[in-house]
Structure 1
Protein backbone atom coordinates (compact mmCIF):
# COMPACT_ATOMS: atom_id res chain seq x y z
CA UNK A 1 0.00 0.00 0.00
CA UNK A 2 1.47 3.36 -1.01
CA UNK A 3 2.10 6.11 1.55
CA UNK A 4 -0.62 8.37 0.11
CA UNK A 5 -3.20 5.61 0.35
CA UNK A 6 -2.26 4.80 3.95
CA UNK A 7 -2.39 8.45 4.98
CA UNK A 8 -5.69 8.85 3.12
CA UNK A 9 -7.25 6.00 5.09
CA UNK A 10 -5.98 7.43 8.37
CA UNK A 11 -7.40 10.86 7.53
CA UNK A 12 -10.77 9.33 6.64
CA UNK A 13 -10.85 7.27 9.84
CA UNK A 14 -10.11 10.42 11.85
CA UNK A 15 -12.88 12.24 10.01
CA UNK A 16 -15.52 9.56 10.48
CA UNK A 17 -14.53 9.18 14.14
CA UNK A 18 -15.04 12.93 14.60
CA UNK A 19 -18.65 12.54 13.51
CA UNK A 20 -19.34 10.07 16.31
CA UNK A 21 -17.66 12.42 18.77
CA UNK A 22 -20.09 15.13 17.63
CA UNK A 23 -23.02 12.74 18.07
CA UNK A 24 -21.88 11.97 21.61
CA UNK A 25 -21.73 15.70 22.38
CA UNK A 26 -25.29 16.05 21.09
CA UNK A 27 -26.44 13.24 23.36
CA UNK A 28 -25.03 15.04 26.42
CA UNK A 29 -27.70 17.72 25.84
CA UNK A 30 -30.59 15.26 26.19
CA UNK A 31 -33.13 16.65 28.64
CA UNK A 32 -31.46 20.07 28.72
CA UNK A 33 -32.95 21.57 25.55
CA UNK A 34 -35.21 20.60 22.65
CA UNK A 35 -33.45 18.26 20.17
CA UNK A 36 -35.04 20.28 17.36
CA UNK A 37 -33.56 23.49 18.77
CA UNK A 38 -30.16 21.81 19.19
CA UNK A 39 -30.21 20.88 15.50
CA UNK A 40 -31.29 24.40 14.48
CA UNK A 41 -28.59 26.10 16.57
CA UNK A 42 -25.87 23.68 15.46
CA UNK A 43 -26.64 24.32 11.78
CA UNK A 44 -27.04 28.06 12.21
CA UNK A 45 -23.54 28.22 13.66
CA UNK A 46 -22.18 25.87 10.98
CA UNK A 47 -23.85 27.75 8.13
CA UNK A 48 -22.42 31.08 9.30
CA UNK A 49 -18.91 29.68 9.70
CA UNK A 50 -18.90 27.87 6.35
CA UNK A 51 -20.34 30.92 4.57
CA UNK A 52 -17.55 33.11 5.90
CA UNK A 53 -14.99 30.60 4.64
CA UNK A 54 -16.61 30.47 1.20
CA UNK A 55 -16.82 34.26 0.98
CA UNK A 56 -13.14 34.57 1.81
CA UNK A 57 -11.93 31.80 -0.50
CA UNK A 58 -14.21 32.12 -3.54
CA UNK A 59 -15.98 35.48 -3.28
CA UNK A 60 -19.66 36.49 -3.59
CA UNK A 61 -20.18 34.76 -6.94
CA UNK A 62 -19.80 31.36 -5.27
CA UNK A 63 -23.14 31.86 -3.48
CA UNK A 64 -25.15 31.54 -6.70
CA UNK A 65 -26.27 27.92 -7.14
CA UNK A 66 -26.93 26.67 -10.66
CA UNK A 67 -30.13 24.78 -9.78
CA UNK A 68 -31.75 26.45 -6.81
CA UNK A 69 -34.62 24.01 -6.31
CA UNK A 70 -32.23 21.06 -6.29
CA UNK A 71 -30.21 22.76 -3.56
CA UNK A 72 -33.42 23.34 -1.58
CA UNK A 73 -34.20 19.63 -1.90
CA UNK A 74 -30.73 18.78 -0.56
CA UNK A 75 -31.25 21.11 2.38
CA UNK A 76 -34.70 19.70 3.16
CA UNK A 77 -33.41 16.11 3.13
CA UNK A 78 -30.46 16.97 5.36
CA UNK A 79 -32.80 18.77 7.76
CA UNK A 80 -35.08 15.72 7.92
CA UNK A 81 -32.17 13.34 8.49
CA UNK A 82 -30.69 15.56 11.21
CA UNK A 83 -33.97 16.14 13.07
CA UNK A 84 -34.74 12.43 13.15
CA UNK A 85 -31.24 11.41 14.22
CA UNK A 86 -30.81 14.06 16.92
CA UNK A 87 -34.24 13.22 18.34
CA UNK A 88 -33.33 9.52 18.29
CA UNK A 89 -30.06 9.80 20.19
CA UNK A 90 -31.79 11.87 22.87
CA UNK A 91 -33.83 8.78 23.84
CA UNK A 92 -31.85 5.80 22.50
CA UNK A 93 -28.39 4.35 22.94
CA UNK A 94 -25.93 6.02 20.58
CA UNK A 95 -24.73 2.72 19.08
CA UNK A 96 -28.29 1.51 18.43
CA UNK A 97 -29.29 4.71 16.65
CA UNK A 98 -26.07 4.61 14.62
CA UNK A 99 -26.63 0.98 13.61
CA UNK A 100 -30.13 1.73 12.32
CA UNK A 101 -28.90 4.80 10.44
CA UNK A 102 -26.46 2.59 8.52
CA UNK A 103 -29.36 1.05 6.60
CA UNK A 104 -29.16 4.14 4.34
CA UNK A 105 -26.99 2.46 1.63
CA UNK A 106 -29.82 -0.04 1.08
CA UNK A 107 -32.31 2.82 0.70
CA UNK A 108 -29.94 4.56 -1.72
CA UNK A 109 -29.64 1.43 -3.87
CA UNK A 110 -33.41 0.91 -3.92
CA UNK A 111 -34.34 4.55 -4.60
CA UNK A 112 -31.69 5.11 -7.27
CA UNK A 113 -33.78 3.03 -9.66
CA UNK A 114 -37.00 5.08 -9.72
CA UNK A 115 -35.37 8.46 -9.00
CA UNK A 116 -32.13 8.32 -11.03
CA UNK A 117 -33.19 5.66 -13.55
CA UNK A 118 -30.32 3.45 -12.46
CA UNK A 119 -30.60 -0.31 -12.71
CA UNK A 120 -31.24 -1.96 -9.34
CA UNK A 121 -28.82 -4.89 -9.15
CA UNK A 122 -29.95 -8.37 -7.99
CA UNK A 123 -27.66 -8.08 -4.93
CA UNK A 124 -29.82 -5.19 -3.67
CA UNK A 125 -32.97 -7.33 -3.68
CA UNK A 126 -31.05 -10.05 -1.84
CA UNK A 127 -29.58 -7.73 0.80
CA UNK A 128 -32.73 -5.69 1.48
CA UNK A 129 -34.62 -8.38 3.45
CA UNK A 130 -31.37 -9.31 5.21
CA UNK A 131 -30.87 -5.70 6.30
CA UNK A 132 -34.49 -5.54 7.47
CA UNK A 133 -33.85 -8.54 9.71
CA UNK A 134 -30.94 -6.61 11.23
CA UNK A 135 -33.18 -3.56 11.68
CA UNK A 136 -35.82 -5.62 13.48
CA UNK A 137 -33.19 -7.10 15.82
CA UNK A 138 -31.95 -3.63 16.79
CA UNK A 139 -35.47 -2.22 17.07
CA UNK A 140 -36.75 -5.11 19.18
CA UNK A 141 -36.07 -3.75 22.70
CA UNK A 142 -36.46 -0.09 21.73
CA UNK A 143 -39.83 -0.50 20.05
CA UNK A 144 -41.24 -2.22 23.12
CA UNK A 145 -40.05 0.64 25.32
CA UNK A 146 -40.36 3.71 23.08
CA UNK A 147 -42.97 2.78 20.48
CA UNK A 148 -42.74 4.40 17.06
CA UNK A 149 -40.10 6.85 18.32
CA UNK A 150 -37.64 3.95 17.99
CA UNK A 151 -38.07 4.16 14.21
CA UNK A 152 -36.57 7.66 14.04
CA UNK A 153 -33.08 6.42 13.02
CA UNK A 154 -34.66 4.50 10.12
CA UNK A 155 -36.49 7.67 9.07
CA UNK A 156 -33.16 9.50 9.32
CA UNK A 157 -31.58 6.88 7.05
CA UNK A 158 -34.39 7.34 4.52
CA UNK A 159 -33.95 11.13 4.43
CA UNK A 160 -30.20 10.67 4.19
CA UNK A 161 -30.62 8.33 1.22
CA UNK A 162 -32.70 11.00 -0.52
CA UNK A 163 -29.95 13.50 0.24
CA UNK A 164 -27.32 11.21 -1.29
CA UNK A 165 -29.43 10.88 -4.43
CA UNK A 166 -29.92 14.65 -4.66
CA UNK A 167 -26.16 15.06 -4.16
CA UNK A 168 -25.56 12.82 -7.15
CA UNK A 169 -28.00 14.86 -9.22
CA UNK A 170 -26.24 18.08 -8.15
CA UNK A 171 -22.70 16.80 -8.85
CA UNK A 172 -20.61 19.43 -10.61
CA UNK A 173 -22.82 22.38 -9.61
CA UNK A 174 -20.09 23.97 -7.51
CA UNK A 175 -16.93 23.45 -5.49
CA UNK A 176 -16.88 21.06 -2.54
CA UNK A 177 -17.03 24.01 -0.11
CA UNK A 178 -19.85 25.79 -1.94
CA UNK A 179 -21.93 22.62 -2.06
CA UNK A 180 -21.43 22.22 1.68
CA UNK A 181 -22.48 25.84 2.22
CA UNK A 182 -25.60 25.47 0.05
CA UNK A 183 -26.85 22.41 1.89
CA UNK A 184 -26.09 23.83 5.35
CA UNK A 185 -27.66 27.22 4.64
CA UNK A 186 -30.79 25.71 3.09
CA UNK A 187 -31.21 23.10 5.83
CA UNK A 188 -31.08 25.78 8.53
CA UNK A 189 -34.47 27.47 7.77
CA UNK A 190 -36.21 24.08 7.81
CA UNK A 191 -34.59 23.28 11.17
CA UNK A 192 -35.56 26.64 12.66
CA UNK A 193 -39.14 26.16 11.43
CA UNK A 194 -39.24 22.66 12.97
CA UNK A 195 -37.95 23.97 16.32
CA UNK A 196 -40.59 26.73 16.25
CA UNK A 197 -43.41 24.27 15.51
CA UNK A 198 -42.11 21.97 18.24
CA UNK A 199 -42.10 24.82 20.75
CA UNK A 200 -45.71 25.80 20.02
CA UNK A 201 -46.84 22.17 19.97
CA UNK A 202 -46.95 22.21 23.75
CA UNK A 203 -44.79 19.08 24.10
CA UNK A 204 -42.60 19.60 27.20
CA UNK A 205 -39.52 18.01 25.61
CA UNK A 206 -39.73 20.39 22.63
CA UNK A 207 -40.01 23.68 24.53
CA UNK A 208 -37.37 26.21 23.49
CA UNK A 209 -36.17 28.63 26.16
CA UNK A 210 -32.98 30.66 26.38
CA UNK A 211 -30.15 28.12 26.12
CA UNK A 212 -27.48 27.85 28.77
CA UNK A 213 -24.02 28.97 27.64
CA UNK A 214 -22.83 25.36 27.79
CA UNK A 215 -25.44 24.34 25.21
CA UNK A 216 -24.27 27.06 22.83
CA UNK A 217 -20.68 25.92 23.38
CA UNK A 218 -21.54 22.28 22.74
CA UNK A 219 -23.51 23.12 19.57
CA UNK A 220 -20.48 25.09 18.38
CA UNK A 221 -18.23 22.10 19.08
CA UNK A 222 -20.57 19.83 17.11
CA UNK A 223 -20.49 22.26 14.17
CA UNK A 224 -16.68 22.31 14.30
CA UNK A 225 -16.31 18.52 14.58
CA UNK A 226 -18.72 17.96 11.66
CA UNK A 227 -16.96 20.44 9.38
CA UNK A 228 -13.57 19.04 10.39
CA UNK A 229 -14.83 15.51 9.72
CA UNK A 230 -15.90 16.38 6.19
CA UNK A 231 -12.61 18.14 5.52
CA UNK A 232 -10.61 15.12 6.73
CA UNK A 233 -12.79 12.71 4.74
CA UNK A 234 -12.34 14.88 1.65
CA UNK A 235 -8.55 14.90 2.08
CA UNK A 236 -8.60 11.15 2.59
CA UNK A 237 -10.60 10.65 -0.59
CA UNK A 238 -8.21 12.79 -2.65
CA UNK A 239 -5.29 10.63 -1.49
CA UNK A 240 -6.77 7.13 -1.45
CA UNK A 241 -9.88 7.37 -3.64
CA UNK A 242 -13.56 7.10 -2.72
CA UNK A 243 -13.70 3.34 -3.32
CA UNK A 244 -10.95 2.75 -0.75
CA UNK A 245 -12.36 5.21 1.77
CA UNK A 246 -16.01 4.08 1.64
CA UNK A 247 -15.79 1.15 4.11
CA UNK A 248 -13.98 3.35 6.64
CA UNK A 249 -17.26 5.07 7.47
CA UNK A 250 -18.24 2.08 9.63
CA UNK A 251 -15.58 3.18 12.10
CA UNK A 252 -18.35 5.47 13.35
CA UNK A 253 -20.12 2.44 14.79
CA UNK A 254 -17.07 1.35 16.79
CA UNK A 255 -16.47 4.87 18.11
CA UNK A 256 -20.17 5.34 18.93
CA UNK A 257 -20.23 2.07 20.88
CA UNK A 258 -17.09 2.99 22.83
CA UNK A 259 -18.31 6.52 23.62
CA UNK A 260 -21.75 5.25 24.54
CA UNK A 261 -20.20 2.91 27.09
CA UNK A 262 -17.65 5.38 28.47
CA UNK A 263 -19.91 8.44 28.70
CA UNK A 264 -23.40 7.04 29.21
CA UNK A 265 -22.88 3.49 30.45
CA UNK A 266 -24.71 2.06 27.43
CA UNK A 267 -24.06 -1.62 26.74
CA UNK A 268 -25.88 -3.01 23.67
CA UNK A 269 -27.25 -6.52 24.18
CA UNK A 270 -26.25 -9.45 21.97
CA UNK A 271 -29.31 -9.32 19.63
CA UNK A 272 -28.64 -5.62 19.06
CA UNK A 273 -24.99 -6.26 18.25
CA UNK A 274 -26.08 -9.10 15.96
CA UNK A 275 -28.51 -6.82 14.16
CA UNK A 276 -25.85 -4.12 13.80
CA UNK A 277 -23.45 -6.70 12.35
CA UNK A 278 -26.07 -7.77 9.79
CA UNK A 279 -26.80 -4.16 8.75
CA UNK A 280 -23.12 -3.25 8.42
CA UNK A 281 -22.36 -6.54 6.67
CA UNK A 282 -25.11 -5.85 4.14
CA UNK A 283 -23.68 -2.40 3.48
CA UNK A 284 -20.15 -3.71 3.06
CA UNK A 285 -21.29 -6.53 0.75
CA UNK A 286 -23.22 -4.01 -1.33
CA UNK A 287 -20.04 -1.93 -1.62
CA UNK A 288 -17.89 -4.95 -2.50
CA UNK A 289 -20.28 -6.11 -5.23
CA UNK A 290 -20.61 -2.66 -6.83
CA UNK A 291 -18.54 -2.29 -10.02
CA UNK A 292 -15.69 0.14 -9.34
CA UNK A 293 -16.77 2.50 -12.12
CA UNK A 294 -20.21 2.80 -10.57
CA UNK A 295 -19.04 3.50 -7.04
CA UNK A 296 -19.56 7.01 -5.63
CA UNK A 297 -16.94 9.53 -6.67
CA UNK A 298 -17.47 12.17 -4.02
CA UNK A 299 -17.32 12.25 -0.25
CA UNK A 300 -20.88 13.57 -0.10
CA UNK A 301 -22.16 10.32 -1.58
CA UNK A 302 -20.69 8.13 1.13
CA UNK A 303 -22.90 6.95 4.00
CA UNK A 304 -21.95 9.86 6.26
CA UNK A 305 -24.11 12.84 7.06
CA UNK A 306 -23.12 16.26 8.29
CA UNK A 307 -25.19 16.04 11.42
Structure 2
Protein backbone atom coordinates (compact mmCIF):
# COMPACT_ATOMS: atom_id res chain seq x y z
CA UNK A 1 0.00 0.00 0.00
CA UNK A 2 1.58 3.32 -1.05
CA UNK A 3 2.40 5.86 1.63
CA UNK A 4 0.19 8.94 1.26
CA UNK A 5 2.01 12.05 0.17
CA UNK A 6 2.19 14.77 2.81
CA UNK A 7 2.90 18.27 1.44
CA UNK A 8 6.11 19.82 2.86
CA UNK A 9 4.13 22.80 4.18
CA UNK A 10 1.87 20.55 6.24
CA UNK A 11 4.86 18.62 7.56
CA UNK A 12 6.44 21.88 8.70
CA UNK A 13 3.24 23.02 10.40
CA UNK A 14 3.03 19.69 12.22
CA UNK A 15 6.68 20.04 13.20
CA UNK A 16 6.06 23.51 14.58
CA UNK A 17 3.05 22.23 16.52
CA UNK A 18 5.09 19.39 18.03
CA UNK A 19 7.87 21.87 18.89
CA UNK A 20 5.35 24.01 20.76
CA UNK A 21 4.21 20.92 22.67
CA UNK A 22 7.86 20.15 23.48
CA UNK A 23 8.39 23.64 24.91
CA UNK A 24 5.35 23.12 27.13
CA UNK A 25 6.98 19.88 28.35
CA UNK A 26 10.29 21.68 28.98
CA UNK A 27 8.43 24.28 31.02
CA UNK A 28 6.89 21.37 32.92
CA UNK A 29 10.36 20.09 33.81
CA UNK A 30 11.36 23.36 35.47
CA UNK A 31 7.97 23.76 37.12
CA UNK A 32 8.14 20.23 38.59
CA UNK A 33 11.72 20.78 39.75
CA UNK A 34 10.79 24.06 41.44
CA UNK A 35 7.77 22.46 43.11
CA UNK A 36 9.84 19.56 44.43
CA UNK A 37 12.28 22.03 45.93
CA UNK A 38 9.44 23.86 47.65
CA UNK A 39 8.23 20.62 49.28
CA UNK A 40 11.72 19.85 50.63
CA UNK A 41 13.29 17.53 48.04
CA UNK A 42 17.06 18.07 47.63
CA UNK A 43 18.27 19.38 44.26
CA UNK A 44 20.52 16.35 43.68
CA UNK A 45 17.53 14.05 44.13
CA UNK A 46 15.47 16.12 41.69
CA UNK A 47 18.21 15.83 39.06
CA UNK A 48 18.46 12.09 39.71
CA UNK A 49 14.70 11.67 39.32
CA UNK A 50 14.73 13.59 36.06
CA UNK A 51 17.27 11.18 34.53
CA UNK A 52 16.25 7.93 36.25
CA UNK A 53 12.66 8.21 35.03
CA UNK A 54 13.94 9.33 31.63
CA UNK A 55 16.24 6.28 31.43
CA UNK A 56 13.45 3.90 32.42
CA UNK A 57 11.19 5.27 29.68
CA UNK A 58 13.94 5.19 27.05
CA UNK A 59 14.75 1.57 27.92
CA UNK A 60 11.08 0.51 27.96
CA UNK A 61 10.33 2.07 24.58
CA UNK A 62 13.55 1.63 22.62
CA UNK A 63 15.15 -1.57 23.95
CA UNK A 64 12.45 -3.90 22.54
CA UNK A 65 12.80 -2.22 19.14
CA UNK A 66 16.57 -1.70 18.93
CA UNK A 67 17.97 -4.37 21.26
CA UNK A 68 21.72 -4.26 21.69
CA UNK A 69 22.10 -1.64 18.98
CA UNK A 70 20.66 0.90 21.43
CA UNK A 71 23.88 0.80 23.48
CA UNK A 72 26.29 0.67 20.54
CA UNK A 73 27.99 4.00 20.02
CA UNK A 74 30.57 5.25 17.58
CA UNK A 75 32.27 7.27 20.31
CA UNK A 76 31.82 6.54 23.99
CA UNK A 77 34.03 9.54 24.79
CA UNK A 78 31.80 11.98 22.91
CA UNK A 79 28.64 10.49 24.40
CA UNK A 80 30.13 10.77 27.90
CA UNK A 81 31.16 14.39 27.38
CA UNK A 82 27.74 15.19 25.93
CA UNK A 83 25.97 13.57 28.88
CA UNK A 84 28.22 15.40 31.34
CA UNK A 85 27.44 18.80 29.83
CA UNK A 86 23.70 18.03 29.90
CA UNK A 87 23.95 16.92 33.53
CA UNK A 88 25.83 20.12 34.44
CA UNK A 89 23.18 22.21 32.70
CA UNK A 90 20.32 20.43 34.45
CA UNK A 91 21.99 20.57 37.86
CA UNK A 92 22.72 24.29 37.67
CA UNK A 93 19.26 25.05 36.34
CA UNK A 94 17.44 22.99 38.98
CA UNK A 95 19.33 24.74 41.78
CA UNK A 96 18.67 28.15 40.21
CA UNK A 97 14.89 27.66 39.92
CA UNK A 98 14.69 27.19 43.69
CA UNK A 99 15.78 30.82 44.16
CA UNK A 100 14.65 32.64 41.02
CA UNK A 101 11.33 33.01 39.19
CA UNK A 102 10.96 30.78 36.13
CA UNK A 103 10.73 33.89 33.97
CA UNK A 104 14.25 34.91 34.99
CA UNK A 105 15.82 31.48 34.54
CA UNK A 106 14.00 31.10 31.22
CA UNK A 107 15.14 34.48 29.92
CA UNK A 108 18.78 33.82 30.85
CA UNK A 109 18.53 30.41 29.15
CA UNK A 110 18.03 32.24 25.87
CA UNK A 111 21.72 33.22 26.00
CA UNK A 112 22.49 29.70 24.70
CA UNK A 113 22.79 30.91 21.05
CA UNK A 114 25.42 33.44 22.20
CA UNK A 115 27.53 30.70 23.75
CA UNK A 116 26.99 28.37 20.77
CA UNK A 117 28.17 31.12 18.44
CA UNK A 118 31.21 31.97 20.57
CA UNK A 119 32.22 28.36 21.28
CA UNK A 120 31.92 27.36 17.62
CA UNK A 121 35.18 29.26 17.05
CA UNK A 122 37.49 27.08 19.21
CA UNK A 123 35.43 23.86 18.96
CA UNK A 124 34.46 23.81 15.28
CA UNK A 125 36.99 26.21 13.79
CA UNK A 126 34.25 28.53 12.51
CA UNK A 127 34.65 32.25 11.93
CA UNK A 128 32.41 34.70 13.76
CA UNK A 129 32.27 38.21 12.32
CA UNK A 130 31.90 41.52 14.11
CA UNK A 131 28.14 41.64 13.58
CA UNK A 132 27.54 38.45 15.57
CA UNK A 133 30.05 39.44 18.25
CA UNK A 134 28.14 42.72 18.58
CA UNK A 135 24.85 40.80 18.87
CA UNK A 136 26.40 38.64 21.61
CA UNK A 137 27.53 41.75 23.53
CA UNK A 138 24.12 43.41 23.17
CA UNK A 139 22.42 40.20 24.32
CA UNK A 140 24.46 40.13 27.50
CA UNK A 141 23.46 43.74 28.15
CA UNK A 142 19.91 42.41 28.17
CA UNK A 143 20.93 39.80 30.73
CA UNK A 144 22.44 42.52 32.93
CA UNK A 145 19.15 44.42 32.79
CA UNK A 146 17.27 41.29 33.93
CA UNK A 147 19.58 40.23 36.80
CA UNK A 148 20.75 43.76 37.83
CA UNK A 149 24.10 42.88 39.45
CA UNK A 150 24.98 45.13 42.35
CA UNK A 151 21.36 45.82 43.24
CA UNK A 152 19.34 44.35 46.10
CA UNK A 153 17.37 42.30 43.55
CA UNK A 154 20.47 40.43 42.35
CA UNK A 155 20.75 36.78 43.39
CA UNK A 156 23.93 34.70 42.88
CA UNK A 157 21.78 31.92 41.41
CA UNK A 158 21.69 34.03 38.24
CA UNK A 159 25.31 33.03 37.69
CA UNK A 160 24.25 29.38 37.79
CA UNK A 161 21.83 30.14 34.97
CA UNK A 162 24.72 31.41 32.86
CA UNK A 163 26.77 28.29 33.64
CA UNK A 164 23.73 26.21 32.66
CA UNK A 165 23.43 28.12 29.38
CA UNK A 166 27.12 27.62 28.56
CA UNK A 167 26.82 23.90 29.41
CA UNK A 168 23.78 23.65 27.14
CA UNK A 169 25.75 25.29 24.33
CA UNK A 170 28.53 22.71 24.75
CA UNK A 171 25.87 19.99 24.80
CA UNK A 172 24.38 21.26 21.52
CA UNK A 173 27.76 21.40 19.81
CA UNK A 174 28.56 17.87 20.98
CA UNK A 175 25.09 16.72 19.86
CA UNK A 176 25.88 18.05 16.41
CA UNK A 177 28.95 15.81 16.36
CA UNK A 178 27.41 12.63 17.81
CA UNK A 179 24.33 12.90 15.57
CA UNK A 180 26.59 11.93 12.67
CA UNK A 181 27.56 8.62 14.28
CA UNK A 182 24.71 7.61 16.64
CA UNK A 183 20.93 7.54 16.54
CA UNK A 184 18.82 9.88 18.66
CA UNK A 185 17.64 6.89 20.73
CA UNK A 186 21.23 5.91 21.53
CA UNK A 187 22.08 9.47 22.53
CA UNK A 188 19.03 9.63 24.79
CA UNK A 189 20.04 6.34 26.39
CA UNK A 190 23.55 7.54 27.21
CA UNK A 191 22.30 10.88 28.52
CA UNK A 192 20.03 9.00 30.92
CA UNK A 193 22.33 6.22 32.06
CA UNK A 194 25.37 8.46 32.56
CA UNK A 195 23.57 10.80 34.94
CA UNK A 196 21.71 8.00 36.72
CA UNK A 197 24.84 5.93 37.41
CA UNK A 198 26.92 8.98 38.37
CA UNK A 199 24.37 10.31 40.86
CA UNK A 200 23.17 7.02 42.35
CA UNK A 201 25.99 6.66 44.95
CA UNK A 202 25.42 10.25 46.12
CA UNK A 203 21.66 10.60 46.09
CA UNK A 204 21.16 7.95 48.80
CA UNK A 205 22.53 10.43 51.36
CA UNK A 206 19.95 13.06 50.42
CA UNK A 207 16.93 10.90 49.62
CA UNK A 208 13.51 11.78 51.01
CA UNK A 209 9.99 10.87 49.94
CA UNK A 210 7.26 13.40 49.15
CA UNK A 211 4.65 13.74 51.87
CA UNK A 212 1.88 15.42 49.84
CA UNK A 213 -0.10 14.37 46.73
CA UNK A 214 1.22 17.32 44.71
CA UNK A 215 4.76 16.36 45.71
CA UNK A 216 4.21 12.82 44.42
CA UNK A 217 2.87 14.16 41.12
CA UNK A 218 5.95 16.35 40.62
CA UNK A 219 8.11 13.40 41.76
CA UNK A 220 7.24 11.54 38.55
CA UNK A 221 6.44 14.35 36.12
CA UNK A 222 9.94 15.85 36.28
CA UNK A 223 11.21 12.79 34.40
CA UNK A 224 8.12 12.22 32.25
CA UNK A 225 8.13 15.80 31.01
CA UNK A 226 11.85 15.46 30.18
CA UNK A 227 11.35 12.31 28.14
CA UNK A 228 8.28 13.60 26.30
CA UNK A 229 9.92 16.93 25.55
CA UNK A 230 12.98 15.35 23.98
CA UNK A 231 10.86 12.85 22.03
CA UNK A 232 8.61 15.59 20.66
CA UNK A 233 11.48 17.86 19.64
CA UNK A 234 13.22 14.92 17.95
CA UNK A 235 10.12 14.13 15.88
CA UNK A 236 9.60 17.83 15.14
CA UNK A 237 13.17 18.10 13.87
CA UNK A 238 12.43 15.31 11.41
CA UNK A 239 9.41 17.17 10.03
CA UNK A 240 10.82 20.68 9.75
CA UNK A 241 14.35 22.09 9.38
CA UNK A 242 16.07 23.53 12.44
CA UNK A 243 16.06 26.92 10.70
CA UNK A 244 12.26 26.83 10.71
CA UNK A 245 11.86 25.62 14.30
CA UNK A 246 14.56 27.73 15.99
CA UNK A 247 12.67 31.05 16.25
CA UNK A 248 9.68 29.35 17.87
CA UNK A 249 11.79 28.27 20.85
CA UNK A 250 11.53 31.83 22.15
CA UNK A 251 7.82 31.32 22.72
CA UNK A 252 8.80 29.20 25.71
CA UNK A 253 9.23 32.39 27.73
CA UNK A 254 5.44 32.80 27.49
CA UNK A 255 4.88 29.32 28.94
CA UNK A 256 7.46 30.01 31.65
CA UNK A 257 5.79 33.32 32.53
CA UNK A 258 2.36 31.66 32.79
CA UNK A 259 3.71 28.89 35.01
CA UNK A 260 5.63 31.35 37.19
CA UNK A 261 2.58 33.57 37.59
CA UNK A 262 -0.24 31.02 37.90
CA UNK A 263 1.52 28.25 39.84
CA UNK A 264 4.14 30.06 41.91
CA UNK A 265 2.57 33.55 42.18
CA UNK A 266 5.73 35.17 40.77
CA UNK A 267 4.65 37.51 37.95
CA UNK A 268 7.33 38.99 35.69
CA UNK A 269 8.65 42.40 36.71
CA UNK A 270 9.32 45.42 34.55
CA UNK A 271 13.04 44.58 34.22
CA UNK A 272 12.19 41.31 32.50
CA UNK A 273 10.02 43.17 29.99
CA UNK A 274 12.98 45.44 29.28
CA UNK A 275 15.78 42.87 29.19
CA UNK A 276 14.14 39.79 27.67
CA UNK A 277 13.33 41.43 24.28
CA UNK A 278 16.98 42.48 23.99
CA UNK A 279 18.18 38.93 24.67
CA UNK A 280 15.62 37.40 22.31
CA UNK A 281 16.25 39.99 19.61
CA UNK A 282 20.01 39.39 19.74
CA UNK A 283 19.48 35.63 19.53
CA UNK A 284 17.20 36.00 16.53
CA UNK A 285 19.73 38.25 14.81
CA UNK A 286 22.45 35.62 15.29
CA UNK A 287 20.07 32.99 13.88
CA UNK A 288 19.27 35.17 10.83
CA UNK A 289 22.93 35.96 10.26
CA UNK A 290 23.99 32.31 10.45
CA UNK A 291 21.14 31.33 8.14
CA UNK A 292 22.25 33.96 5.63
CA UNK A 293 25.80 32.61 5.82
CA UNK A 294 24.39 29.09 5.30
CA UNK A 295 26.15 27.66 8.36
CA UNK A 296 25.34 24.07 9.39
CA UNK A 297 22.15 24.07 11.42
CA UNK A 298 22.56 23.12 15.07
CA UNK A 299 20.13 20.53 16.43
CA UNK A 300 16.97 21.84 18.05
CA UNK A 301 17.25 20.60 21.59
CA UNK A 302 16.79 21.71 25.15
CA UNK A 303 18.84 22.62 28.26
CA UNK A 304 17.09 19.96 30.32
TM-score, scaled to structure 2: 0.89
Residue 61 of structure 1 is matched in structure 2 by 69
Any unmatched runs of 5+ in structure 2? 1-7
- 2:273 is aligned to 273
Matched, 1:182 2:181: no
Q: Deviations over 1:231-258 (max 9, x none)?
A: 2222222222211011111121110001
Contact 2:260 2:266 in 1 (8 A): yes
1:283 paired residue number: 283
Q: Higher helix fraction: Structure 1 or Structure 2?
A: 1
Bigger mean CA offset, 16-25 vs 109-118? 16-25
Q: Is the 8 A contact 2:26 2:225 kept in 1?
A: yes
Instruction: Report which stretch shifted further, 15-24 or 286-295.
Output: 286-295
**What is the TM-score of this pair, normalised by structure 1?**
0.88
Deviation, structure 1 residue 188: 2.6
Distance (Å, rounded) in 2 between the aligned partners of 1:143 and 1:285 = 29
Partner of residue 120, structure 1: 128
1:85 Cα deviation after fit: 0.4
Match runs of 1:135-284 below 5 Å? 135-140=143-148, 144-145=152-153, 147-192=155-200, 195=203, 207-212=206-211, 214=213, 215=215, 217-284=217-284
Q: Which residue of 1 aligns with 2:300?
A: 299
Task: Name which of structure 1's ranges 231-240 and 77-86 shifts more when overlaid on structure 2.
Answer: 231-240
1:7 pairs with 2:14? yes
Deviation at 1:193, TM superposition (A): 5.9
- C-alpha spacing 1:90/1:222, structure 2 compared with 1 (3 Å): same
1:17–1:251 contact (8 Å) kept in structure 2: no
Task: Name stretches of at least 5 consecutive residues in structure 1 with no aligned partner.
Answer: 200-206
Equivalent residue for 1:95? 103
Match of 1:24 in 2: 31
RMSD between aligned alpha carbons? Answer: 2.2
Say how many residue pairs are matched: 294
1:133 aligns with 2:133: no
